[in-house]
Structure 1
């Protein structure tokens, strides 16, 4: 029996599909939506936070506010299934942070989108899903 499910969330449509799949497939499980604020990317370019510590604080505040919006949408999806949703956000590189979270919290399964980037970005940056599949200590279900 599956008692806990981890759903890494991004702003792409496959994350919502993964969340819906987890809620439908594991109706009696606790579902946790995890968003990793990746400090390597930003609308301000690589790094995103500038040269001053205050710029990092501003960037991080904005990133966390966006994560809160993401979680509000995810909670709305969970409500459609009459379900509660646990949410967590953390800062780090997306793929290794998801694996580390799975190692520390030991969910029964990770359900995630197969990709949320364009083909050129996946080629240049690698696929988060590929990394998680190869290194996760628990089974990973990819939704596409």
Structure 2
């Protein structure tokens, strides 16, 4: 069905389910797991390079590499290869930017499992990606 799938991945159970869903539902697609090192927002952040404004950006990238190594292990369990990428920024913005600037056919993103009435709501990042994405978005619970 889809040739190239972007999977935002942070190591959480919903993101793991999204990655596994990608492998099971799109067996012939090329998948890319994206980890976003969060960057602060605000007036001054707009004028600085993300590497400068993110405290301990190197540590964030190291943590991202460890988390993406877990994603690569999940791919191996499914006999799949997985491209991985790390970006700095606000997660929803970085995900949408990536989808706008690379040839992805879809985004598969995990939603937060919630209790009670709030369960019908998406996680804030997933909701913003759904609203702003230029490509189809599959939300996995």
TM-score, normalized by length of structure 1?
A: 0.79
Q: Does 1:97 align with 2:94?
A: yes
- Whole-angstrom CA distance in 2 between matches of 1:19 and 1:74: 8
The residue number in structure 1 matching 2:35 is 35
Runs of 4+ in 1 over 2 A off after TM superposition: 55-58, 115-118
* Offset at residue 104 of structure 1 (A): 0.4
1:143 aligned partner: 140
Cα 1:77–1:103 shift into 2, 3 Å = same
* Aligned residue among 61, 65, 69 for 1:72: 69
Q: What's the CA shift for 1:115?
A: 2.9
Judged with a 3 Å threshold, the aligned counterparts in structure 2 of structure 1 residues 116 and 66 are, in CA distance, closer, same or farther, namely farther
The whole-number CA distance in structure 2 between the counterparts of 1:131 and 1:57 is 22
* Cα distance, 1:117–1:36 mapped onto 2, change above 3 Å: farther
What residue number does 2:13 align with? 13
Unaligned runs of 5+ in 2: 42-51, 116-122
Tell whether 2:69 aligns with 1:83: no
Kindly report the root-mean-square deviation, in angstroms, between the aligned alpha carbons of the 2 structures. 2.4
Contact 1:111 1:143 in 2 (8 A): yes
Report the alpha carbon displacement of residue 58 of structure 1 after superposing the two structures with TM. 6.7
In structure 1, stretches of 5+ residues that fail to align are: 42-54, 119-125
What aligned pairs does 1:27-66 form with structure 2 within 5 A after superposition?
27-40=27-40, 59-66=56-63
Three-state SS of the structure 2 residue aligned to 1:90 is strand
Say if 2:40 and 2:90, in contact at 8 Å, map to a contact too.
yes
Aligned length in residues: 125
TM-score of the pair, normalised by structure 2: 0.81
Compute the displacement of 1:117 (Å).
Answer: 8.9
